[in-house]
Structure 1
Amino acid sequence: MAKSMTGYGLSTTQFENTTITVEIRSVNHRFLDIIPKYPRTFLFLEDKIKMLVKNFFSRGRVELHINIEGEGFVQKSISTDWKLLDQFIQQLKVAKERYGLQGEIPFSVLTQLPDLITIQENEEKPDNLQENILACIEDACLQVLEMRIEEGKNLLDDILERATIIRNIVRSIESRRENVIDEYRTRIKQRMEEYIEDPITVDSSRLHQEIALLAEKGDIAEEITRLHSHLDQLEEWSKLEEPIGRKLDFILQEMNREANTVGSKSTDTKISEWTVAMKSEIERIKEQVQNIE
């Protein structure tokens, strides 16, 4: 089954005044690259999160964002350094007596003292927090997977459609092959006659042998056979349930190589045009395959 490497998933769950939101974005990549982004307090879950994501995907760049908020998760409290405050008040009294200062100490002065009053955040992790985070991630992964499967079907339909076009081009080249060989032999014979300025007898077995060898070098029968074989393999691999992106990329490289050989061997204008069209379709398939897992 062909799966795209592009997908998106968003899952939210609420429990005990806590809200967990998981957002996953997936794009194409040569390997599986998981990039988790969440509060540092949940680093202990990193291995479990990566193992969970690996159960769904084998290739692609997967960005995973986790946001956790709620009153039940973070409790704030105020702490006062009473010893520091006592020392400050005592020093102010000493200063008043020493310099004869008048008036009361304003309360606003106390609030401006650094480190006197601090606000502390105490994270309270509910008992089932880990299970809820992993369940939320799993739900988002399922959404991404569903999107990747749907887009993979569309990509595969386009690939197989273009593979059919290539197959028809190969058949057209194959149908013209015999005529090209005959024309090639005739052209070789005419050039040799012009060179030696004497008609060549058709009964000359040695000469015909040499012409046959030269014509064989320009024959594209083997390339046509391999192209048919590669197209059969492409169609066969497209039915596999496992990831097929790398397999398709390999077979397309081989097809492109055979197409280049056909183009370099052929001196026929029509075959050259068909070869260019075939290479164009191969390149378009390669672009689509770059996004298949």
Structure 2
Amino acid sequence: MTLVSMTGFTRTGGRSNTYQWTWEIKTVNGKGLDLRLRLPSGFDELDRPVRDILSKHLSRGSCFINLSLQHENSGQNVKVNEAVLEAVLAAMTSIENRIDAKKPGLDGILSIKGVLEQVEEEEDEAVRAEVIKALLESFADAVSDLESMRRAEGDALAKIVLQRVEEIETLTKEAEDCPARSVEAIRAKLHQQIDRIIEADKGFDEDRLYQEAVLLAGKADIREELDRLYAHCEAVRALLADNRPVGRKLDFLAQEFNREANTLCSKSNDTSLTAIGLSLKASIEQLREQIQNVE
């Protein structure tokens, strides 16, 4: 059984040069593949390769990816902002003859906001490339860990799905063997209904009576529904052995199961058969709930 769950979570950290980081990936149910990515400022170049990696491993589900990045940069320089300094000196010159005040010293000028700036050293391109490579390798490891987690949960889901299919198969067999489906029971039911029709109208046409009997007999026959339920059970088993994503196909089968159970209930000619049909619907709903998590 090779089902894969759409839900999973992983967190992976790494370090390269003066950078350290943590990748977090969370996946939940979704009809299609929806990737939502949060990257630190200045690392937008990771967007495309990260999406490419994910699209190779995921086919369905909403996926939330977050990268937390810390940079331990000790290489900071202080430089004079020439434009601000020129403006400050020009202002001092324009007002020095207007007021009687002591000229500011160097420390006073440098303390003016904007005159001095802290500037980080430009990062070497080779170092940058090394960090990007390490980030992507770390992300690939995180995806691999997520995939293992989703497969483990998928194995558990497969066992539950198989249990539900066995329940449906057992209930289908009960419906097939239900005494209310016997020829004698159906004949007795038809006689009762025909007798009521005749009593209601003494002049009832015999041809019309025959047609009504055929319709009643056809309505009581659930052989086709039973055969389809058995066939759907086999189809689910076949999908459980498939190595490809089968969530959509399983979801379609769940709808087909429900359609047959509804028809069986509508054709029921006895409360015992109706009870089996309702139990079938309950098991099918439980199956559908589990299938919602399958990729």
Q: TM-score, normalised by structure 2?
A: 0.86
Distance 2:156 2:287 in 1: 13
Q: Which residue of 2 aligns with 1:60?
A: 61
Alignment of 1:231-246 (within 5 A): 231-246=233-248
Q: Displacement, 1:47?
A: 1.6
1:25–1:64 Cα contact (<8 Å) kept: yes
Give the aligned residue type for 1:157: K
Q: CA deviation at 1:122?
A: 4.7
Question: Hey, what's the Cα distance between the residues in 1 that align with 2:220 and 2:76?
Answer: 83
Pairing of 1:72-151 with structure 2 (within 5 A): 75-89=75-89, 91-92=91-92, 94-102=94-102, 104=104, 107=107, 110-113=110-113, 115-122=114-121, 124=123, 126=127, 127-151=129-153
Give the Å deviation of 1:177.
6.0
Judge which range, 83-92 or 282-291, deviates more. Answer: 83-92
- Quick one: which of 270, 284, 287 aligns to 2:289? 287
Cα distance in structure 2, aligned partners of 1:162 and 1:123: 62
Partner of 2:9: 8
Contact 2:169 2:233 in 1 (8 A): yes
CA distance in 1, matches of 2:140, 2:82: 49
Residue aligned with 2:134, SS: helix
Judged with a 3 Å threshold, the aligned counterparts in structure 2 of structure 1 residues 131 and 165 are, in CA distance, closer, same or farther, namely same
Q: Matched residues in 2 for 1:99 and 1:17: separation?
A: 52
Contact 1:20–1:136, Cα closer than 8 Å, also in 2: no
Q: 1:277 aligns with which of 279, 286, 290?
A: 279
Aligned-residue offset at 1:105: 5.2
The total of aligned residue pairs comes to: 285
Please say if 1:49 is aligned against 2:57.
no
193 and 94 in structure 1: CA distance in 2 versus 1, 3 angstrom threshold: closer
2:63 and 2:211 map into 1 onto residues whose CA distance is: 62
Cα drift, residue 285 of structure 1: 1.0
1:53-85: CA deviations, max 9, x gaps? 11211111111112232325x843333223532
The answer to whether the 8 Å contact 1:10/1:22 transfers is yes
Q: Percent identity?
A: 29
> Which amino acid letter does the alignment assign opposite residue 229 of structure 1?
A
Change (3 A) 1:50 1:181: same
- Structure 2 gap ranges (5+): 200-205
Using the TM superposition, name which of 83-92 and 280-289 deviates more. 83-92
> Are residues 212 and 75 of structure 1, via their aligned partners in 2, closer, same or farther at CA, if it must alter by over 3 Å?
same
Q: Which moved more, 1:216-225 or 1:43-52?
A: 43-52
CA gap 1:90/1:215 in 2 versus in 1, 3 angstroms:
closer
Which letter maps to 1:135?
E
The residue type equivalent to 2:101 in the other structure is L
Q: Report the CA distance between 1:95 and its aligned residue.
A: 2.8
Counterpart of 2:44, as a letter, is L
Deviation at 1:184, TM superposition (A): 2.9
Worse-superposed segment, 148-157 or 94-103: 94-103
SS at match of 1:41: coil
Residue type matched to 1:7 in 2?
G
Partner of 2:265: 263
Q: Which residue matches 1:26? A: 27
Say if 2:25 and 2:64, in contact at 8 Å, map to a contact too.
yes
Query: In terms of mean alpha carbon deviation, does 145-154 or 184-193 score higher?
Result: 184-193
User: Is the 2:25–2:146 Cα contact (8 Å) retained in structure 1?
Assistant: yes
**Which range moves more in the overlay, 149-158 or 11-20?**
11-20
Structure 1 residues 100 and 61: CA distance shift in structure 2, 3 A: same
> For the residues of structure 2 that align with 1:11 and 1:195, how far apart are their CA atoms?
75
Map residues 180-259 of structure 1 onto 2, 5 A cutoff: 180-193=182-195, 195-196=197-198, 211-259=213-261
Q: 1:284 to 1:194 in 2, by over 3 A?
A: closer
The farther-off stretch of 166-175 and 188-197 is: 188-197
Distance in 1 (CA, whole Å) between partners of 2:75 and 2:7 is 39
How far, CA to CA, are the matches of 1:143 and 1:34 in structure 2? Answer: 17
What displacement does 1:11 show?
Answer: 1.6
Distance, in Å, in 2 between the alignment partners of 1:275 and 1:191 is: 23
Q: CA, structure 1 residues 231+177, in 2 after alignment: closer, same or farther (shift >3 Å)?
A: farther
Deviates more, 1:134-143 or 1:44-53: 44-53
Residues 253, 174 of structure 1: alpha-carbon distance in 2 compared, 3 angstrom cutoff: same
Residue by residue, what CA displacement relative to the aligned partner does 1:97-116 show, whole Å, maximum 9, x if unpaired? 32223475594575243x32
Q: Check whether the contact 2:33–2:63 (CA below 8 A) recurs between aligned residues.
A: yes
8 Å CA contact 1:177–1:220 kept in 2: the answer is no
Residue 123 and residue 172 in structure 1: after superposition, are their counterparts in 2 closer, same or farther (change >3 A)? farther
Distance apart, 1:33 and its partner CA: 1.1
Per-residue CA distance 1:248-271 (angstroms, 9 max, x = gap): 001110110000000001021111
The answer for the alignment partner of 1:201 in structure 2 is none
